């Protein structure tokens, strides 16, 4: 277990790479932004938008995949207010919306005067899939993530639209196996957030292929035949988590602290639409030795908001905390018993990173910012 020399991201993050100086790809890529010719990128972006702006008369120019998060507010602000496009907003509804997330989504319509078309998942399928994905993959939001990737593609095509916006390229911005800066989001389903394990869910007969169909993204051939251009806004605009939050606040976005203060995080503005979704984020801790606090601390360090030394104590304090509200939410939704839940949790602890005492409690074998120490 090695840590990036600049931030606090370890090499246990799937797909992340370090250069010969011990700097992780996200830090290196963030520094590259400082030498990018953003004026030239904007010329390309304006040309792309001009291709569709007003093309269909008073009908929508484009679609934006949105949620109740800060980045969605930033995206709609940029596409509608800066680029003067007429977008329709496409959202996948949460089963367990926070009130703050629900209001933030509604704010997109109120503030920017945009139509929102939402997809509400089958609750029975979502419930079954959350439990199965937790037990089989340690990724309880697999189904929700699959819908987030699939639905905007499908709906944009059904609406006859050709330009679809997503926020950032997750692998490039935060680390992953496809560390390539590209404007096209056509291959984002391959970024390993949604592992291609469709047959796994069908084995016990509790889920049918028909029930999962809405979560399947159109093929590359189908997208090309339609002429769909899914693009990352982050390719054309410098992407910074905290900056996006500050911009979003100016357009009515509210952080979760007004409703609920989460344990295990160092902020209250990232991924706030669903309480249950955060279980997925926490599971990175037993599997890889880092979770939400590491992620956000590393982003702040890259942006120059904090230093590596400043953030080590915060990561040590917060990353290991699994919020009880998240557990309660998941147990209520899936019907799992607490003992069964913790038995499955034990399965996901990486024994290279943790050791279990005689009472079943897990302890770190690593020190944040250093690596394995015992």
Backbone region of residue 162 per phi and psi (left: phi > 0; alpha: psi in -120 to 50; beta: other values): alpha
Q: What residues does each domain of the chain span? A: 25-33+257-372, 36-235
Mean pLDDT of the chain: 94
Question: Among 30-39, 106-115, 131-140, 191-200, which is the least confidently predicted range?
Answer: 191-200
Query: Pairing mode, if any, of strands 362-364 and 354-356?
Result: antiparallel
For residue 361, the model assigns a pLDDT of: 96
Residue 228 in this model has a pLDDT that exceeds 70: yes
| Per-residue pLDDT band at 180 (split at 50, 70, 90) | confident
**142 contact partners, CB below 8 Å, separation of at least 6:** 129, 133, 194, 195
φ, ψ at 71 (rounded to 5°): -65, -35
Ranked by mean pLDDT, the top range of 100-109, 167-176, 267-276 is 100-109
Between residues 51 and 94, which one has the greater pLDDT?
A: 51
For residue 61, the model assigns a pLDDT of: 96
Residue 96 in this model has a pLDDT that exceeds 90: no
The residue whose two tokens read 């899914």 is 230
Residues 33/143, Cβ–Cβ less than 8 Å: no
For residues 101-114, average pLDDT: 97
CA dist., res. 37 & res. 39, Å (int) = 5
Residue 208 in this model has a pLDDT that exceeds 90: yes
For residues 291-320, average pLDDT: 97
**38 contact partners, CB below 8 Å, separation of at least 6:** 237, 238
Bridge partners of 166, per DSSP, are: 232
DSSP 56-88: TTTS-SEEEEE-SSHHHHHHHIIIIIIS---EE
Q: Model confidence over 41-53: pLDDT tens digits?
A: 999 999 999 999 9
For residue 190, the model assigns a pLDDT of: 66
3-state class (DSSP) for residue 104:
helix
For residue 374, the model assigns a pLDDT of: 78
Between residues 147 and 179, which one has the greater pLDDT?
A: 147
For residue 191, the model assigns a pLDDT of: 62
Residue 320 in this model has a pLDDT that exceeds 70: yes
Residue 197 in this model has a pLDDT that exceeds 90: no
DSSP code for 274 = B
Residues 50/84, Cβ–Cβ less than 8 Å: no
Query: Pairing mode, if any, of strands 371-372 and 366-367?
Result: antiparallel
| Per-residue pLDDT band at 178 (split at 50, 70, 90) | confident
Between residues 197 and 356, which one has the greater pLDDT?
A: 356
Residue 192 in this model has a pLDDT that exceeds 70: no
Residues 308/343, Cβ–Cβ less than 8 Å: no
Q: Model confidence over 149-163: pLDDT tens digits?
A: 899 999 999 999 999
**236 contact partners, CB below 8 Å, separation of at least 6:** 41, 42, 44, 45, 183
Question: Among 59-63, 90-94, 122-126, 170-174, which is the least confidently predicted range?
Answer: 170-174
CA dist., res. 183 & res. 166, Å (int) = 10
Which CATH number does 36-235 carry? 3.40.50.620
Q: Model confidence over 50-90: pLDDT tens digits?
A: 999 999 899 999 999 999 999 999 999 999 999 999 999 99
Q: Model confidence over 235-290: pLDDT tens digits?
A: 999 999 999 999 999 999 999 998 988 899 999 999 999 888 889 999 999 999 99
Residues 63/31, Cβ–Cβ less than 8 Å: no
């Amino acid at each position: 277990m090695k840590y990036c020399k600049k931030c606090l991201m370890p090499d246990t993050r799937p797909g992340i790479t370090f250069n010969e100086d011990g700097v992780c790809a996200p830090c290196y890529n963030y520094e590259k932004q400082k030498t990018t010719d953003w004026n030239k990128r904007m010329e390309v972006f304006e040309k792309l938008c001009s291709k569709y702006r007003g093309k269909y008369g008073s009908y929508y120019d484009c679609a934006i995949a949105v949620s109740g998060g800060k980045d969605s507010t930033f995206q709609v602000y940029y596409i509608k207010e800066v680029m003067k496009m007429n977008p329709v907003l496409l959202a996948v509804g949460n089963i367990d919306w926070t009130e703050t997330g629900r209001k933030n989504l509604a704010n997109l319509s109120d503030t920017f005067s945009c139509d929102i078309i939402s997809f509400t998942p089958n609750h029975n399928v979502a419930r079954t899939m959350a439990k199965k994905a937790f037990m089989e993959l340690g990724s309880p939001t697999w189904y929700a993530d699959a819908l987030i990737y699939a639905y905007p593609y499908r709906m944009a095509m059904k609406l006859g639209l050709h330009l679809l916006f997503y926020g950032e390229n997750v692998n490039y911005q935060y680390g992953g196996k496809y560390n390539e800066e590209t404007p096209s989001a056509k291959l984002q389903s391959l970024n390993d957030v949604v592992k291609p394990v469709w047959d796994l869910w069908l084995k016990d007969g509790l889920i049918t292929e028909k029930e999962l169909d809405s979560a399947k993204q159109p093929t590359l051939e189908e997208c090309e035949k339609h002429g769909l251009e899914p693009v990352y806004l982050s390719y054309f605009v410098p992407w910074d988590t905290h900056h996006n939050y500050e911009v979003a606040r100016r357009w009515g976005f509210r952080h979760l602290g007004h409703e609920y203060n989460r344990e295990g995080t160092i902020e209250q503005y990232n991924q706030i639409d669903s309480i249950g979704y955060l279980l997925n984020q926490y599971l990175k801790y037993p599997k890889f030795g880092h979770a939400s606090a590491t992620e956000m601390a590393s982003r702040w360090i890259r942006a120059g908001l904090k230093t590596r030394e400043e953030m080590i104590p915060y990561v040590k304090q917060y990353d290991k905390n699994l919020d009880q509200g998240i557990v309660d939410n998941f147990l209520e939704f899936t019907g799992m018993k607490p003992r069964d839940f913790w038995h499955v949790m034990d399965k996901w602890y990486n024994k290279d990173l943790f050791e279990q005492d005689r009472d079943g409690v897990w302890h770190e074998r690593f020190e944040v910012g250093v690596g394995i120490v015992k």
